[in-house]
Structure 1
């Protein structure tokens, strides 16, 4: 082989190795960048949900600082009454306890 062919092969080899190196250095970081961008978008959606939940908690906390809300919860959840009031509890009747006659208008057609 002549020197010019060897020189030409050396240049082609150097260019090929350089292009391959640039491709490795360029493609891998770009893929990582896309993955990071996708992860960032998912985290932003999750952050928005958490902030919305936190806002609802803040509203609940602010409501619990009022006497009206405390009274409402005490009455509804703990069946508490004021000293001058009477509390009644109505027990629902189950449908099994009621005997419905099989005559009109109660029978099924």
Structure 2
């Protein structure tokens, strides 16, 4: 995973074209880049992030930030009720309880 100015990218290699392709993760805007070598790929990634930030500044637009920490989730009402009851039983807010449940699941599957 590559990082530049707080932005991360997912990289894939296209064997037929002999090119690396990348996409910046965690933002709504779609920003892709490519390179035929690791050095070219790194430079294209950094240039893409810098160009994106410069474009946003010129347009007076707030650039998307990677992962705001907000995450909307639609779940069945019965599951919502069940999670809320569990949270209250453990003296936690629903938000705290869901974070705890998700964190534990991720740690056990890592």
Task: Name the structure with the higher helix share.
Answer: 1
- Bin the TM-score by the shorter chain: under 0.3
Normalising by structure 2, we get a TM-score of: 0.22
RCO higher in structure (CA 8 A, sep ≥6): 2
Normalising by structure 1, we get a TM-score of: 0.22
Task: Name the structure with the higher strand share.
Answer: 2
